[in-house]
């Protein structure tokens, strides 16, 4: 299993509900292909460095996921079809980022266990 980081930009005219539905579709696609979504963050509306399809702003979304090496291609093909997605980029996560990410997950699980025991 490889760890991937996917950053995509959605049109700024998309409503919050539509943005969440796009995020859900992509997360579902990753899951259907055997991957596991680890993180799905909305960075919010930001200015673009240059206009894309006549838009000067876009909603940025960051996704971390774990999957086999054959999963990113079909996910990217689905993103190419969607008109609401202006740009996207998938990269392999660096080993140091993976290790720090796994440490955070372990710490969060320990905190949740501690909170569960105290209740």
pLDDT digits (tens, 9 = 90+) for 25-57: 999 999 999 999 988 999 999 999 999 999 999
User: Domain containing 37: what range?
Assistant: 2-93
How many Cα atoms are found within 13 Å in the side-chain-facing hemisphere of 57?
8
Of all residues in the chain, the percent with pLDDT exceeding 70 is: 94
Q: Where are the beta strands (DSSP E) in 1-119?
A: 2-10, 36-52, 55-67, 85-92
Which residue do the tokens 């006549």 mark? Answer: 54
Q: What CATH number does residue 85 fall under?
A: 3.30.70.60
Count up the domains in the chain and report the number. Answer: 1
Residue 31 lies in a domain: yes
23 occurs within a structural domain: yes
Residue 118 inside a domain? The answer is: no
Mean residue pLDDT of the chain comes to 89
Cut 0.85: pTM above it: no
Which whole number is the average pLDDT over 106-113? 78
Cβ–Cβ < 8 Å for 58, 48: yes
Is residue 100 a part of any domain in this protein? no
Indicate whether 115 pLDDT > 70.
no
């Amino acid at each position: 299993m490889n760890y991937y980081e996917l950053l995509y930009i959605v049109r700024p005219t998309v409503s919050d509900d539509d943005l969440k539905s796009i995020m859900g579709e992509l997360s579902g696609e990753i899951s259907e292909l055997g991957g596991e979504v680890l993180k799905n963050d909305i960075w919010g509306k930001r200015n673009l460095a240059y206009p894309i399809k006549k838009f000067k702003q876009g909603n940025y979304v960051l996704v971390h996921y774990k999957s086999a090496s054959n999963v990113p291609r079909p996910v990217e093909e689905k993103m190419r079809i969607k008109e609401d997605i202006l740009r996207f980029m998938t990269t392999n996560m660096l080993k140091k980022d993976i290790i720090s990410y796994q440490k955070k997950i372990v710490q969060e699980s320990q905190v949740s266990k501690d909170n569960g025991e105290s209740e």
